[in-house]
Amino acid sequence: MSRISLSRFLIEAQRTEGNLPPELRLLIETVARACKAISHSVNKGALAGVLGEAGSGNVQGEAQKKLDVIANDILLEANEWGGSLAAMASEEMELPYSIPENYPRGRYLLLFDPLDGSSNIDVNISVGTIFSVLECPPGDVAPSEADFLQSGRRQVAAGYTVYGPQTMLVLTFGHGVHGFTLDREQGSFVLTHPDMRIPASTKEFAINMSNQRHWEAPVQRYVGELLAGTTGPLGKDYNMRWVASMVAEVHRILVRGGVFMYPKDARDPSKPGKLRLMYEGNPMAFIVEQAGGAATNGRMPILDIQPSKLHERVAIFLGSREEVERVTAYHAAD
């Protein structure tokens, strides 16, 4: 049986299903090529002198790693000239990136976290790229921040690439979730995980337990029940995982189930959460829902949130549907 490359998969989806516009296909192929270049830089690591701090900060005031900056530049440069995009927005940049006037502009908006989990770079743990695609409002020749402020339901595509023992691209257009593994010898992504599905129930959870004292009561209750195991109300033992890389956490959940939580906490009551809605919450929620899971902020589906600013933060509970619905119900009852 012949292997199905990403390009073949996209062309067949465009031809047979009729729900993949040619401009969107070209955009995804361009993003995939950029992710291959990022993967090469990540894999070279210290050999290419790309580890360590960049000596700069991003819009959130976080210290940037050298690879944060490199990955951001790769994505901007790869996508600015292709003619599919009207503008881009990056977690690493305060304002949207306008397509240079000497390049054609297209109908889509691209948002990305160029290197999620970058605190793990120097210790050789999986990191990744997350991206989201929206349609630009028709007739808008100079997109502004307001044009990006669409709910997650408006996404036309989303995906991530995880740079681990293998480099994998996971992708959805709203018709299921498919995973592609990078064949380094051939230089192409190959379909290896068609129609990925998240089991409805699980015995595995991921949360940063060091923040427990800061959590709200519903989260305290839920995690307490998980830890109680067979002696508690849930009647089964759970294992805990924590990688501190959202891409790695979500990828594990897509492959074998689980629930990932990054809740609001009391350290900064003005912030609804830690992770970013537009760059992390929306694309991952889209993927998880398409794989049969659920994703909420504890009170409503993440994809239903109407963003008010480009770098808005959000609490996140996502993964196996039964567990996400349980912790969301605890919030509703609080």
Per the annotation, does 113 bind a ligand? Answer: yes
Per the annotation, does 268 bind a ligand? Answer: no
Per the annotation, does 274 bind a ligand? Answer: yes
Per the annotation, does 322 bind a ligand? Answer: no
Per the annotation, does 119 bind a ligand? Answer: yes
Span between the terminal Cα atoms of the chain, in Å: 54
Per the annotation, does 118 bind a ligand? Answer: yes
Per the annotation, does 289 bind a ligand? Answer: no
Per the annotation, does 185 bind a ligand? Answer: no
For the four alpha carbons of 138, 142, 146 and 152, in that order, the dihedral sign comes to positive
Among the listed residues 42, 326, 288, the one whose alpha carbon sits nearest the alpha carbon of residue 159 = 288
Token pair, residue 269, equals: 């009551």
Annotated binding site for substrate: 116-119, 208, 274
Instruction: Write out the binding residues for Mg(2+).
Output: 91, 113, 115-116, 280
Q: Which residues are known binding-site members?
A: 91, 113, 115-119, 208, 274, 280
